[in-house]
Amino acid sequence: MLALRLLNVVAPAYFLCISLVTFVLQLFLFLPSMREDPAAAPLFSPALLHGALFLFLSANALGNYVLVIQNSPDDLGACQSTSAKRALCPPPSTHFCRVCARVTLRHDHHCFFTGNCIGSRNMRNFVLFCLYTSLACLYSMVAGVAYISAVLSISFAHPLAFLTLLPTSISQFFSGAVLGSEMFVILMLYLWFAIGLACAGFCCHQLLLILRGQTRHQVRKGVAVRARPWRKNLQEVFGKRWLLGLLVPMFNVGSESSKQQDK
């Protein structure tokens, strides 16, 4: 339990450090390298378009990250106090989290990177957090590849060029041909790639469970759920005004779960 509580502190700090490093690299390396194109129009310069797109992706990722933490699932402490009160809470949709030390409604899992449980109140923000984190990381990787290609005069036309970049760069780094800052960007390329793929896979997995009307906790316990149309399951999490919540990080967008919390 001590290891889990320690991970609950280290993982959010790790995510924030990666976010800070990404912002610094974008601001002081990638964007200045794109301003060197004199033929580009000021309004549609690569630096301006790149900065606007990265700001949009990162703002949605960090905004939904904050909302996941802010909109924590309600603590249904009455469910574990006595056996009589426990009968008021449906067992398939509640679970006692040992890390948070509380009972949550429609518990899905405990996310160590947010240090919070994922349930009915913050599921939509968690899915969007995974989506925009994946897009921001993969986009940063593309911008980093363009930067390394220009600085080191490396062509990535061959499919295996990215896979052989790390071992080649390590040997050149110890020989003095690659600077420390360039080597750090190369290492970040692989880290962005790994985080982007992991978040994309997790986002697709969560969307599949939402379409089925299930949670990860129910799948692990083998709990059968009542069959419902996938549109209704999707609307219960994302609400009717799902497009607004997709573009702007916000909590209440007319979802069924938020309406149930207000009653």
Residues belonging to the active site: 111
4 phi and psi, to 5 degrees?
A: -65, -40
Short-list 164, 192, 153, 177, CA closest to 25: 192
What number of other Cβ atoms are within 10 A of residue 263's Cβ? 4
> What DSSP line would sit under 78-105, residue for residue?
GGTT-HHHHTTS-GGGEEEETTTTEEEE
Element (H, E) at 197: helix 180-212
- The amino acid sitting at 81 is S
Six-digit token string for 90: 């449906």
Could you tell me which residues come within 8 angstroms of residue 134 by beta carbon, excluding any fewer than 6 positions away?
A: 195, 196, 197, 198, 199, 200, 203
Short-list 263, 3, 249, 257, CA closest to 128: 249
Short-list 226, 191, 60, 186, CA closest to 130: 60
